[in-house]
Amino acid sequence: MSAQHRKTVLITGCSSGIGRAAARLFQQQGWQVAATQRNPAAEAELNRLPGVICPRLDVTDPASIQSAVAETIAAFGRIDVVVNNAGYALMGAFETHSEAQVRRQFETNVFGLMEVCRGVLPHLRGQRAGTLINVASMVGRIPLPLYSVYNASKFAVEGFSEGLVYELEEFGVQVKLIEPGAVKTNFFGRSSDRANGTGETAYAHYTAEQLSVMDDIGACGSESEDAAAVIWAAANDSSRRMRYSVGTDAKALLFVRRLLPDATFQRMIRLSLSRMAFNSVGRLLYKQA
């Protein structure tokens, strides 16, 4: 296929995990890929693949968004799909977080994602075609303990994205949401911002037990490639479908959530997150097929 007819995707947060797997998959499928990263100088693989460039893009730095978009259009002529993937989780009891930690969570997961949309929308509207794919989370619809600020950031992504669906349809721009359950990435390790032991300590016992269960859930998670395959499917789905879950945990919990009243559902979540229950039946629920 000539470069003129190949589609182009711009993805944020391609240094690891889901973004990286998505960049590889789109490239393998013959797309032109802007695999953006905060620190592309450290990249040694993606930038050697044909049809891939790695512009610097930090979602909290609007100038880097503008230049990454311009670099991508200069290299490939257009952008067809934008995957807003960059993000991380602030983990721990709300009271143990500083205001700066809370703001940083929103600066990245919410305001950063919005700025990327602001940066690409004139181009997508101008060509009267394009797809925004926002990586939210299962917890953007099913909040979990010790993720209260992260939950809130992903609820914001859900609300923002659904509003955009209506605003952008007359311009031929689609908006889609990816809702992963647990995925085995740096999300549970290097990328997470965890309660740092300062501040309110009344939660120490609960936090220690619960975060260790969360880490075990993470270790049972889907592969990054599974999430990338769902992003790929969303990018190629011209129907009006908006939400795409990833993993059996997300699919099962989102289904059960629709059926149960709040209090019953919360009892089920409490039970499934207890160490004892997780070690017996919970592992089965979270173990990905």
Q: Which residues form the interface with ligand NAP (CB under 6 A)?
A: 12-13, 15-19, 38-39, 57-60, 85-88, 108, 112, 135, 137, 180, 182-183, 185-187, 191, 218, 221
**Least separation in angstroms between CB 221 and ligand NAP:** 5
Instruction: Tell me if 271 sits within 8 A of 205, measured CB to CB.
Output: no
- Residue 237's Cβ-count burial label (10 Å; 0-12, 13-18, 19+) is middle
**Least separation in angstroms between CB 172 and ligand NAP:** 26
**Least separation in angstroms between CB 136 and ligand NAP:** 7
CA 154 to chain centre: 9
The catalytic residue among 88, 147, 150, 244 is 150
Verify whether residue 166 is a known catalytic residue. Answer: no
Comparing CB distances to ligand NAP, the nearer of 6 and 38 is: 38
The single residue listed with the structure tokens 């512009």 is 55
Comparing CB distances to ligand NAP, the nearer of 12 and 267 is: 12
The CA-atom distances, in angstroms, between 170 and each of 40, 173, 189 are: 36, 8, 41
**Least separation in angstroms between CB 1 and ligand NAP:** 28
- Identify the CA nearest to 13 among candidates 26, 25, 22, 4: 22
E strand or H helix that includes residue 15: none
Comparing CB distances to ligand NAP, the nearer of 59 and 124 is: 59
Residue 33, beta-bridge partner list = 9, 52
Residue nearest to ligand NAP (CB): 17
Comparing CB distances to ligand NAP, the nearer of 96 and 192 is: 192
Report the distance separating Cα 119 and Cα 65, nearest Å.
Answer: 6
Name the percent of the chain in helix, strand, coil, to the closest 5: 55, 15, 30
Which residues participate in catalysis according to the annotation? 150
